[in-house]
Amino acid sequence: MTSTATNGSRPTAIEVRGLVKNYDQVKAVRGVEFQVSTGEVFGFLGPNGAGKTTTINMLCTLVKPSAGTASVAGHDVVRERDDVRRNIGLVFQDPTLDGYLTAAQNLQLHAELYGVQSDLVKPRMEQVMSMVGLWDRKDSSVNTFSGGMRRRLEIARGLMHSPRVLFLDEPTIGLDPQTRRSIWTYIRELQHREQITIFMTTHYMDEAEWCDRIAIMDHGEIVALDAPETLKAQVGTDRVVIHTDDDDATIEALKDRFDVDARISEGAVTFSVAGGEQFVPRLFAELGIPIKAVNVARPTLDDVFMSYTGSTIRDAEEDAGRNRSRRMMQVMHGGGRR
Amino acid sequence: MSTTTQRAEAAPDASTTEVVRVTVPKRSLASELRAIRIVWRRELIRYRSDRLRMVTTLVQPFLFLFILGSGLQRLANAGTHGVSLRTFIYPGILCIAVMFTAMFSAASIVWDREFGFLREMMVAPVRRSSIVIGKCLGGATVASIQGVIVICVAGLAGVPYAPLMILGIFVLQLLLAFSITAFGVMIAVRIKQMQSFMGVMQMIVTPMFFISGALFPSSGLPGWLAVLNRLDPLTYAVDPMRRLVFNHLSISPAARAALDPGITWWGWRVPSLLEVGMVVALGLVMLGIAIWQFSRTE
């Protein structure tokens, strides 16, 4: 988290130029460009439907780009598909384990498919499984594993063939906060130990803090790209949340006296202002409405996201969710599964 | 690589534990063969852990063999020249037992797709053809294991345990199992949902079974049925199987002529070898189509 990796000093692990993907009329990815240095933990942040998964699929050679180029571990994703595949590890958003096999059998299968030298399969398996704390469960059927254990096992499997770049698509989706934290600890540790590059997507803002650099993606484009700390510093304003008896009057008074645009968010009056701590005394003195509680927060990635996209990531998600459920309804009423 | 002595949990400090590094070699024939072998082995592991499947896929064939075979015996007496109906339908039943299992094995592709596991194989640096071939060999192996169970009960159907015959039956059912699995995989590659696959299978398997002559001799049929019968690929597996069994029965020439008339094309009797060759060739063609389709999917 501390290192603000810059390009140039270290060799490039991923290089993307003008990458575009169109599905029929839908422009899923509209010309993204970025570089990831070797050993970096690089995060793609954005709401569902922003084009993160499509981008990751293009980098993993699963989807052909409509335009633009990308190279991973020094190989072109279109022309040198096999070379890319030999050098990357993948952990998908949806589980891809065989539940009827044991953990060890799943990893064995992976090693055989990737052609790992037979004499190294066992030691490597022990190493990656120990790393995610599953070595003692190696002979259990995967069906008996919890969601967090499965995800850890998938990460271990993705590492089985010592990839140079590990792709993680929403590695913590659907997991409880505690498991998410432990997964992140594993990810940071293995990055350190194996010296590999990690490229991941997430729509959890707090998780992006674990990345060296993040790219914020919205509507198929990268709207911001830098270290989380730098991005937060750029926002420049603090978030102030106050509780009063009359929220509407408070919002009006804030506009009149301080020229501040406030809104109700999660049941309290919320607004952004530069130098929040200095602002609070003035607020108490001049607002004219009794304040019951006040909270000043340094900018978070939520604020960063907001300042670049004009909406919170949750709102963006809800919009996407509404569209999705509407589509589902149509499909169901259309009377048929595709 | 001293990982066994330096356990990761004993020494969490990264610097003390040596990292076991592996390198993924370039694609070669050896690595493809390894991929085929592991896909094949996975089918066997899955089969072994699914005891229920061994039973369920045999229920229907055994119902036909023992219930239908015994129940219709009296009605059939007039035409079987003293041969038990069970003996007559046994070769056909063996074929459909193999067919049901092979189709079931092919279904695992749809299953894998639904549960996401297919992706794990799709992104591996191996040819798609290796995955399809591994699947087909796996399905064929599983189906022939089921076939062996049916061979074991031959005695109950009045079929003698002649070693040469059993060997012949075994080889034949192995070839049939491979071809049917290839056929199933060819269909499975295009289908996204298990229910649809099962529906399609029902629609294809049952007519193939009924038309093939597994339950009746294929001579003297009404014209339309004779045409359908000659078009049904399963016909060319049932017929040589039946001839093989009947070669080892001691029955009257009249019974032989009535029950094992062979398949004719405009009066020409198709030799067994050609029939088997057709089954194999058809299987290879379908394997080719399956590979081609599978390679196209992203």
Contacts of A219 (CB under 8 A, 6+ apart): A30, A50, A51
Nearest in space to B239 (alpha carbons), one of B164, B162, B176: B176
**Contacts for A128 with CB less than 8 Å, ≥ 6 apart:** A107, A156, A157, A159, A160
Residue of B24, B48, B126 to mutate, interface with A, max A Cβ within 10 Å: B24
What digits encode the pLDDT tens for the residues B107-137?
888 988 888 888 888 888 899 999 999 999 9
CA distance A58 to chain B (A): 11
How far, in Å, CA of B142 to CA of B41, rounded? Answer: 10
Confidence category of residue B37, pLDDT binned at 50, 70, 90: very high
A182 at interface of B, judged by CB pairs closer than 8 A: no
Asked if A110 reaches chain B (Cβ–Cβ under 8 Å), the answer is yes
Give per-residue pLDDT as tens, B215-244. 999 888 899 999 999 999 999 999 999 999
- Asked if the C-beta of A192 comes within 8 angstroms of chain B's C-beta atoms, the answer is yes
Percent of chain A with pLDDT over 70: 89
Enter the tokens of residue B85. 């109906």
A112 lies within 8 A of chain B by CB: yes
Confidence of residue A328 (pLDDT cuts 50, 70, 90): low
> What value does the mean pLDDT take over residues A22-35?
90
pLDDT of A141 over the 90 cut: yes
Query: Which of A23, A59, A82, A98 to mutate to probe the B interface, most B CBs <10 Å?
Result: A98
- Burial class of residue B206, CB neighbours in 10 A (0-12, 13-18, 19+): exposed
Higher pLDDT, A18 or A236: A18
Query: Nearest-CA neighbor of A32 among A13, A59, A5?
Result: A59
Q: Are A32 and A19 in contact (CB under 8 A)?
A: yes
Per the structure block, which two tokens stand in for A58? Answer: 């293009």
The pLDDT tens digits of the residues spanning B171-212 come to 999 999 999 999 999 999 888 888 899 899 889 999 999 999
| Token duo for residue A168 | 């993680």
Which residue of chain B comes nearest to A106, CA vs CA? B42
Residue A77 and residue A190 in contact, taking contact as beta carbons nearer than 8 Å: no
CA distance A205 to chain B (A): 27
pLDDT value for A334:
43
**Three-state SS for A294?**
strand
Alpha-carbon dihedral angle through residues B137, B142, B147, B153, given to the nearest 10 degrees = 160
SS (H, E, C) A112-179: HHCCCCHHHHHHHHHHHHHHCCCHHHCCCEHHHCCHHHHHHHHHHHHHCCCCCEEEEECCCCCCCHHH
Tokens of B90: 């046994």
pLDDT reading at A256 higher than 70 = yes
- Average pLDDT along chain B: 87
A322 Cα to chain B: minimum distance (Å): 25
Residue (of B230, B232, B234, B244) closest to B272 by Cα position: B244
Q: Which residues of chain B neighbour A102 with C-beta distances below 8 Å?
A: none
Q: Do B46 and A96 lie within an 8 Å CB cutoff?
A: no
| Better-predicted residue by pLDDT, A135 or A263 | A135
